[in-house]
Amino acid sequence: MSAHRSIVLALALLMDILIGDPPNRYHPVAWMGQAIGRANKHAPHKGRVQPFAFGAVLATGGAAAVAGLGRLLVCIISHLPRPLAWIAEATILKMTFSWRGLHQAATHIETALVSDNLPAARQLLSWHLVSRDTSQLDMSQVSAATVESVAENTSDGIVAPLFYYTIGGLPAALAYRFLNTCDAMLGYHDAEHEWLGKAPARLDDVANLLPARLTAALLAAAADLVGENAARALHIWQRDAGKTASPNAGHPMSVMAGALDVELEKVGHYKLGAGQKSAQPTDIGRSLRVMNMATLLAAATFISLPVLMRLGRRGKG
């Protein structure tokens, strides 16, 4: 790791705050999704072995390909003058995460709910944050689903890409984003995707083992800093993290449930923070304050770590 990554990471975060995401036609993650979608059209769907093998090759091969592309880009960028190299790499890194986009999506849902426009809130939730059917959700359920998504996406959409960039540079961040996108598109338990999406889902689970738990710890610390209940967050984390089918999603979501003293339920699947109050639209804003502080803590950690390690090596020398 080097100070170069610290500078690039700081610039990428600044770009995200000031500019946000480009249109999909210019976005590498959208290109990944299009490539996965085209591959899916040619995927076998009968039996178990062939769909599983196809999904495994797609996930591992695609991740390896984008990592290789990342290495090539780093090589090209390294020949640019230093300020331009920082900006170029930061621009690509910014495409792997979306802090501003998550904040805006949740805020729009909160605004619709506060304006008593439940149909719009349901539609926004379905468009931007969840894949489940939202047409029958009431106000509290839409609020809870939004809070859940804020917590989970703090890990998948912010902390994990920055974590992988810190330890493995641009190739690792791009490979993570491909795996996560592949899981998001194929990792469903329906007849078409049960075996096709199994390998992408398991690889994504492995990739998120550390980031999800790190995010949960950051959310708990952030809760204390913004005036929410960190002690209850830790308690609910310990009690409820294992209640989701995913080995990772329950960690940040249970911490958020405890921090806000709300019950987060996906009917028929899990209930986190059982016995706490029902979520309300105002809890979305509270979750965003916790998320923002957790992101700042993550940024401070990842930006300072390469510098501290470099100073440590100099001290030993």
CB atoms within 10 A of CB 316: 6
Q: Distance (Å, rounded) from C-alpha 66 to C-alpha 124?
A: 30
Q: What pLDDT score was predicted for residue 189?
A: 84
Q: What pLDDT score was predicted for residue 207?
A: 98
Q: Does residue 33 lie within any of the structural domains?
A: yes
What's the structural domain count of the chain?
1
Please count the residues of the chain.
317
Q: Distance (Å, rounded) from C-alpha 6 to C-alpha 99?
A: 18
Q: Does residue 68 lie within any of the structural domains?
A: yes
Q: Does residue 30 lie within any of the structural domains?
A: yes
Q: What pLDDT score was predicted for residue 224?
A: 97
Q: What are the beta bridge partners of residue 59? A: none
H/E segment holding residue 243? none
What would the pLDDT profile of 240-272 be if each residue is shown by its tens digit? 999 999 999 999 999 999 999 999 998 888 999
Q: Does residue 101 lie within any of the structural domains?
A: yes
Q: Does residue 107 lie within any of the structural domains?
A: yes
Q: Does residue 317 lie within any of the structural domains?
A: no
**Residue 303 CA to chain centroid, in angstroms?**
19
Q: What are the beta bridge partners of residue 265? A: 271
Q: What pLDDT score was predicted for residue 315?
A: 61
Closest CA to 284 of 97, 113, 99: 113
In this structure, are residues 150 and 102 in contact, taking their beta carbons and an 8 Å threshold? yes
What would the pLDDT profile of 28-74 be if each residue is shown by its tens digit? 999 999 999 999 999 998 899 999 999 999 999 999 999 999 999 99
Q: Distance (Å, rounded) from C-alpha 230 to C-alpha 226?
A: 10
Cα first-last separation, the chain: 17
Domain that holds residue 223: 3-311
Return the CA Rg of the chain. 20
Q: Distance (Å, rounded) from C-alpha 12 to C-alpha 156?
A: 17
Q: Does residue 69 lie within any of the structural domains?
A: yes
Q: Does residue 316 lie within any of the structural domains?
A: no
Encode 113-147: b = buried (16+ Cβ within 10 Å), e = exposed: beeeeeeebbebbbebbbeeebeebebbbbbbbbb
Q: Which residues of the chain have pLDDT under 50?
A: none
Q: What pLDDT score was predicted for residue 192?
A: 85
Q: What pLDDT score was predicted for residue 268?
A: 84
Q: Distance (Å, rounded) from C-alpha 256 to C-alpha 286?
A: 10
Residue with structure tokens 């190299």? 85
